[in-house]
Amino acid sequence: MEALDGNAIGGDLFEIFGREMTTTNGTCAECRTRAQIAELAVYGSAPGSVVRCRTCASVAFVLVNKGGQTQLHRAGFKLDNHEGS
């Protein structure tokens, strides 16, 4: 499966955070690489998406659509300066 960039989940992130998030910087919890969300690798399939660090391929976060609502699990990607916390 070919990866998309983080812009593919921009709408879902806007739904969760209420603002544009693809240009937000963060750090991979595994390899400590800093990147914008737009630079991450997105593997999408219903009912959700797995977002991975492009450097080490660790899971940065997972988006799941459950009951018409998108849930975000992001233990693997720390947003800089607590953006979007």
| Residue spans per domain, the chain | 4-82
Average pLDDT over residues 3-18: 95
Residues 44/34, Cβ–Cβ less than 8 Å: no
Q: Residue 45 CB: number of other CB atoms within 10 A?
A: 8
Handedness of CA 44, 45, 46, 51 (dihedral sign): negative
Residue 83, pLDDT above cutoff 90 = no
Q: Report the distance separating Cα 30 and Cα 47, nearest Å.
A: 25
Strand partners, 64: 48, 71
pTM for the full predicted model = 0.88
Q: Quickly state the pLDDT bin for 67 (edges 50, 70, 90).
A: confident
- Is residue 62 classed as helix, strand or coil in its secondary structure? strand
At 66 the pLDDT is 86
3-state secondary structure of 69: strand
Q: What is the pLDDT of residues 19-55, one digit of tens each?
A: 999 999 999 999 999 999 999 999 987 688 999 999 9
